[in-house]
Structure formats: C-alpha cells, structure tokens
Structure 1
Amino acid sequence: MNHTLLWRVLVLAGCLCCFQSVQADDDMPTNTTPATNYLGASLGTASSEFCTGLNNCGETSNTWKAYSGVRMSDKIFIEAAYVKFGEQQGLDGSTKISSNAKGYSTAGVVTYPLNAQIELFGKAGMWWWESEQKSTAGTQATDGSDILLGVGANYNLGNNMGVRAEWERYQRSQGSAAKQALDLLSVGVTFSSL
C-alpha cells in the first residue's frame, strides 16, 4: 500500500466522520453499552529518516500489526499489539543497505465518541523493539524500549465490526542503526465484544 493510496483512504475516512457528525441528531442512543474488548489487524506504510542520503530508497514490503484491547472505563482502554515494519532498502553508491524492525507494545487509549458510529482516540505507551540494519559490511542488530504516540478514528460497521484508521509514532533512541523514529499510517478491521 503506497502513501498516496493510504492518504486517500484517510481523507475518505475523515469525510465520512464529518458527514456522520452533521447527520447525527437527538435520537442517537444514550444507553448503549460499549464493547468490553476487541481484536484487530491493520496494514499500513511506515516512514523514517532511514532513506536520508540514500538513492532508490523506500519500503519494499507492507507493514502490518495485530492488536487487542480491554475497556477499563467508559472512555479508556488498555491495548497490546505486535507490529512488524516492512523492510526499507536503499543504495549508498553501489552498496545496498536495508533496515527492518518489529516489536511489542502496550498503550493507554482514550476515546471520544462523535456519535453512535464514529469514535476518535489518542494513545500513548511503550514498545519493546528489535531492529536490524544490513549492508555488505555485515548485520548490525539493536534492541530497546521507547515511547509510542498515536491518534486515529474508529468507524462502527455494526455486528461487532469496525474500521480503524490511525497514525502512530514509534520512537527508537538507542543505537546508531536504529535511532530514527518510525511513523506508521495504517487502516484495519476491528472485532469487538469478544
């Protein structure tokens, strides 16, 4: 999934949010019980400063993640996830350099419902990551833990299914091969009330 397609999906989701907000009226359910937990999976595209100074550089495979959350109160979740970033490759002269990362995360998620179908959210938490950078000189592996931040929106499709669009920033501050933060734009499907 390229950046242009993902941006179009996010813009469409934003337009749907605006349309639904305008259409919302006083007959919105007031006593609906929110889902207690959920599972989901997303596909996306990641970017970082890895490509700075490299030629023909970009992400060569899709980034994906799987996540699960438990509602702690009316507007607060605890979410755990596994994320695998697509490999980024580029050329430094004639030398091919590649980088990849993966990790686990735990975050607090605060939600704000716009109406019965659309819910905005923000998140903050920690992730524990492993990263590899490969070149003809060899492989350099690093790992660590750092913060993650994110914002997004959920759109309720009914029958305990929803669509989620979000942006997240995964910090990486340890080691010269993995000091660049990773920005992730993703769209996925969520199943709730499990």
Structure 2
Amino acid sequence: MSGIRQFQGKVFPLNRENVDTDQIIPKQFLKKIDRQGFGQYLFYHWRFNDDGSPNKDFSLNNEKYQGATILVGGDNFGCGSSREHAPWSLLDYGFQVIIAPSFADIFYNNCVKNGILPIRLGQKDVEVLLGKATQSNFELAVDLEEQTVKDQDGYKSSFEIDPYWKQMLMNGWDEISITLSYEDQIKQFELLR
C-alpha cells in the first residue's frame, strides 16, 4: 500500500444518506477473495440498468465525474454488513478519500486498513462540498499531516483522525506491516523459548 500525506483530486458528490455496503457492492459480486476487479461493480444497481447498459440518470456515469478520486457522501456512509469488499470496490474504482458526516464503524476501519482515507466533516461542510461538486468540475486538496481539506476558492476545514490510523495511512502500512516491523523482537522472543 502506498502512503497518503497530501492528496488532490476530483470530487464525486453522492448526496445520499445511509449508503450501505450492499449498495456499494452487491452481494452477487462477492465471489473472489483477492482485492482486484471489484471497481466495475461499484454502485452496480445505481450505475446500470437491468439490461446492463449505463444508467444515464446516475451521476457517476456523467463524464464530468470520470476520474474522480474523492467521494463526498451523506450521513452514515458504509452502514450495513461488515463486508470488506465495499472499500475494495471503492479503491479499485479509483477513490482514495471519502468524506461524510459519519461512517459505520466497521466500514471506517476497513477503509483505513485498505488505504482509503475516510474523513468526517460536519454536515454544513459536507453540504458546501456537495454543492460545489454538483455545480462544476471540483477538486479538493487533502493534507493528512495537517488534517485539512481545502479547495482553490478559499474553503478550508480541519478533521480529526486517530493518531494510530493517521500513521498507518501516512506510511502505507496495514496491520501485517506493523507486525513485521517487530520481526527482530519476535525472533528474539522465539529464541528465548
């Protein structure tokens, strides 16, 4: 996993509350255990019609959001089941940062463990960002070190993140990487037994 320190990207607004993990990645696509290839199924029932053609009414299919890497969503994003496939599909599609007023706890933790930065901002801040992203091609700059989100027009907000998660994301670590960082101590312990 590569680390995130500063990140800039195009914003996709998903002005919906209580987006659950089955809406993010429907259950019929959970047949693989590797993390690749799930992006094509992201928001499947919203992005595609029953015949498999793109749903022109779903904004992610709009050309102006192609290449978006930051998703701004509504309250309680990622609720529902604890499937790790939801962050896998978001990451595989290209999203690196997700901003919402609140997240389901398991989804939030799964995001961090897979290299996605989930940012909690207040409802008013999220409404401002949703409005700006709906009006034009809108980009945000995220600084994890400074814990800020800002745009080119002077908007700026700060966010909180647990120091442990912050270090993991900045260094591109997962929990296995952290365990391996203690390899010498583990070997010494094993020799003592």
TM-score norm. by structure 1 comes to 0.23
Higher relative contact order (CA 8 A, sep 6+): 2
Which structure has greater strand proportion?
Answer: 1
Greater per-residue helix proportion: 2
